[in-house]
Amino acid sequence: MKRERQFRKLMVSLFAVSAMVAVAQGYTYHTAVSEYTAMVKETDTFFDRVRYARRLTAFLAEAESGQRGYLMTGNIAYRKPYDQSINLLKSVMADLLANMPKEREEEIAKVKAAVATKMAEMHRTIEVFDGQGYEAALRIVKTDEGKDSMDVARSILERFIAEDLAVSNRLHGEMAAQSSTTSQRWLYLTASVLIGLFAGMAALWRTSRKIGELAAVLEHEAHHDVLTGLPNRKFFCETLDYVIAVARREKRRIAVSFLDLNGFKAINDELGHDIGDLALIEVSKSLKEVFRESDFAARLGGDEFVVIIHSVDDACNVCSRIKEAIHTTTHPDFKGKQLGTSIGIGVFPDDGDTVESLLAVADARMYEQKQAKKAGKTISLCSICQSDTICPESIDTSNGLAL
């Protein structure tokens, strides 16, 4: 009788411990997922700031290059990159202003003023060159008004980029540390329960299995997008860095395709964020169906995706399949609204030899495609599409499917 009571007490204790472990496990999992989701959103914000600051710096440099080329040669061909960059600068400046925090308002105002001064100086030199010639334009350039404004804007933007990248890297580190710490904590708890409660092996085995599943989930989420299941930015950058190293060793070219959805904002704003999330999920499913085993796709954040294409010769064909897959993505909840995509391609080593440089080139080309579509124009997808005959020279942008 005494032994039975002791056995019952032991079983009650085992069930109580198992219940507490299950409750603690569920609470920790919920907390970890919530914190991870918040970190992802915060990282996306910093990434957008860096992206717009880099675009502004790049378009300023392209505009100045076109201006200098025109002043030195008088060749009207140099006016085209100048005019395109000036138009894009206005749009990028608006995006930058909309995404910067309040504490940077004063410095952003300086950037805005410096950019306006630089644009005015470039416009004035071209007008003077057309009317009075090279020497008169050169005197304006030698005042260094444009150079000083350019230096002010570049200095502030480079500091913003460095600060935001530092915060973004810190957040990525915290996300990885969170996954590792949670896994270790639960593994230690499992070992303690197994040693102290050997008689409850069956119940503790179930608990240990769930702990292992939790660790696997957290490990997966540290490298994958929670919403779509695609690899996330961190996993993509690590993979692209490795692929670049292999391509450099084998002396071959690879391509990075940068995708931005057209029509997504209308779905997200008009039908609600839940339908917007559904659109991202459906697009991810469509992309997975057209990818080959050798392709690697990831979601950077928002409605932006990237693809690593191991063979440059296949780059434009892959992008055509992606465009068609997104175009055919539909769902009754979309209420007839259609999705499309703008795509830019960066080629290693032609356009850069680092993860950052390839992403910057592909992003800039994607942005030019999107702006061209809004203006009802068509432009080349990338340098390889200009030099080879991989894809048509003219891309139809009337139905929202511009590459």
Question: Greater confidence, 396 or 302?
Answer: 302
Residue 313 pLDDT more than 50? Answer: yes
Judgement on whether residues 198 and 54 belong to the same structural domain of the protein: yes
Please tell me the distance from the alpha carbon of residue 212 to that of residue 225, in angstroms, as a whole number: 20
Q: Which residues contact 87 (CB under 8 A, 6 or more apart)?
A: 371
Band (393; pLDDT cuts 50, 70, 90)? very low
Using one digit for the tens of pLDDT, what is the confidence trace for 224-250? 998 999 999 999 999 999 999 999 999
User: Is the preceding omega at residue 349 within 30 degrees of 0, hence cis?
Assistant: yes
Using one digit for the tens of pLDDT, what is the confidence trace for 132-182? 998 988 898 888 888 898 889 888 988 888 888 888 788 778 777 776 666
Structure tokens belonging to residue 316 = 């434009």
What is the pLDDT at residue 343?
A: 92
What is the pLDDT at residue 306?
A: 94
Judgement on whether residues 208 and 318 belong to the same structural domain of the protein: no
Task: Supply the CATH number for residue 96's domain.
Answer: 1.20.120.1730
What is the pLDDT at residue 15?
A: 65
Instruction: Give the per-residue SS3 of the chain.
Output: CHHHHHHHHHHHHHHHHHHHHHHHHHHHHHHHHHHHHHHHHHHHHHHHHHHHHHHHHHHHHHHHHHHHHHHHHCCHHHHHHHHHHHHHHHHHHHHHHHHCCHHHHHHHHHHHHHHHHHHHHHHHHHHHHHHHCHHHHHHHHCCCHHHHHHHHHHHHHHHHHHHHHHHHHHHHHHHHHHHHHHHHHHHHHHHHHHHHCHHHHHHHHHHHHHHHHHHHHHHHHHHECCCCCCECHHHHHHHHHHHHHHHHHHCCCEEEEEEEEECHHHHHHHHCHHHHHHHHHHHHHHHHHHCCCCCEEEEEECCEEEEEECCHHHHHHHHHHHHHHHHCCCCHHHCCCCCEEEEEEEEECCCCCCHHHHHHHHHHHHHHHHHHHHCCCCCCCCHHHHHCCCCCCCCCCCCCCCC
Judgement on whether residues 64 and 206 belong to the same structural domain of the protein: yes
Of 321, 328, 314, nearest to 290 by C-alpha is 321
Using one digit for the tens of pLDDT, what is the confidence trace for 59-104? 888 888 888 888 888 888 888 888 888 888 888 888 888 888 888 8
Look at strands 304-309 and 340-348 and give their pairing: unpaired
Is residue 403 one of the residues assigned to a domain? no
Judgement on whether residues 319 and 290 belong to the same structural domain of the protein: yes
Task: Supply the CATH number for residue 299's domain.
Answer: 3.30.70.270
Band (401; pLDDT cuts 50, 70, 90)? very low
Please tell me the distance from the alpha carbon of residue 337 to that of residue 41, in angstroms, as a whole number: 26
Please tell me the distance from the alpha carbon of residue 282 to that of residue 284, in angstroms, as a whole number: 5
Residue type present at position 203: A
Residue 273 to residues 33, 99, 135, 264, Cα–Cα distance (Å): 19, 19, 58, 10
Is residue 396 one of the residues assigned to a domain? no
Band (8; pLDDT cuts 50, 70, 90)? low
What is the pLDDT at residue 280?
A: 94
Please tell me the distance from the alpha carbon of residue 332 to that of residue 190, in angstroms, as a whole number: 46
Number of domains in the chain: 2
Give the domain range for residue 165: 1-223
Q: Does the CA dihedral 23-24-27-33 come out positive or negative?
A: negative
Question: Greater confidence, 177 or 117?
Answer: 117
Residue type present at position 133: G
Q: To the nearest whole number, what is the mean pLDDT of the chain?
A: 80
Measured from the Cβ of residue 173, the count of other Cβ atoms closer than 10 Å reads: 11
Judgement on whether residues 372 and 326 belong to the same structural domain of the protein: yes
Residue 107 pLDDT more than 80? Answer: yes
Judgement on whether residues 219 and 280 belong to the same structural domain of the protein: no
Enzyme catalytic residues:
303
Band (195; pLDDT cuts 50, 70, 90)? low
Please tell me the distance from the alpha carbon of residue 204 to that of residue 185, in angstroms, as a whole number: 16
Using one digit for the tens of pLDDT, what is the confidence trace for 14-40? 667 666 766 766 666 566 667 767 767
What is the pLDDT at residue 339?
A: 92
Judgement on whether residues 196 and 305 belong to the same structural domain of the protein: no
Using one digit for the tens of pLDDT, what is the confidence trace for 218-227? 777 788 998 9
Judgement on whether residues 151 and 198 belong to the same structural domain of the protein: yes
What is the pLDDT at residue 145?
A: 86
Residue 381 pLDDT more than 90? Answer: no
Express as a percent the part of the chain with pLDDT over 70. 76
CB 279 within 8 A of CB 331: yes
Judgement on whether residues 201 and 113 belong to the same structural domain of the protein: yes
What is the pLDDT at residue 200?
A: 60
Residue 392 pLDDT more than 80? Answer: no
Judgement on whether residues 239 and 219 belong to the same structural domain of the protein: no
Question: Greater confidence, 376 or 18?
Answer: 376
First-residue to last-residue Cα distance in the chain = 80
Average pLDDT for residues 50-58, to the nearest whole number?
Answer: 87
What is the pLDDT at residue 2?
A: 57
Choosing from 178, 202, 223, the residue where a domain stops is: 223
Is residue 61 one of the residues assigned to a domain? yes
Q: Which long-range contacts (CB under 8 A, 24 or more apart) does 2-11 make?
A: 10/199
Average pLDDT for residues 39-50, to the nearest whole number?
Answer: 78
Question: Greater confidence, 217 or 167?
Answer: 167
Judgement on whether residues 254 and 340 belong to the same structural domain of the protein: yes
Question: Greater confidence, 191 or 288?
Answer: 288
What is the pLDDT at residue 197?
A: 55
Is residue 392 one of the residues assigned to a domain? no
Residue 387 pLDDT more than 90? Answer: no
Question: Greater confidence, 108 or 208?
Answer: 108
Residue 216 pLDDT more than 80? Answer: no
CB 230 within 8 A of CB 297: yes
Using one digit for the tens of pLDDT, what is the confidence trace for 261-300? 999 999 999 999 999 999 999 999 998 888 877 789 999 9
Please tell me the distance from the alpha carbon of residue 387 to that of residue 365, in angstroms, as a whole number: 16
Is residue 400 one of the residues assigned to a domain? no
Is residue 402 one of the residues assigned to a domain? no
Express as a percent the part of the chain with pLDDT over 90. 27
What is the pLDDT at residue 353?
A: 93
Residue type present at position 263: G
Judgement on whether residues 77 and 194 belong to the same structural domain of the protein: yes
Is residue 71 one of the residues assigned to a domain? yes
Question: Greater confidence, 33 or 258?
Answer: 258
Choosing from 194, 223, 252, the residue where a domain stops is: 223
Look at strands 296-301 and 254-262 and give their pairing: unpaired
Is residue 383 one of the residues assigned to a domain? yes
CB 310 within 8 A of CB 295: yes
Choosing from 200, 223, 246, the residue where a domain stops is: 223
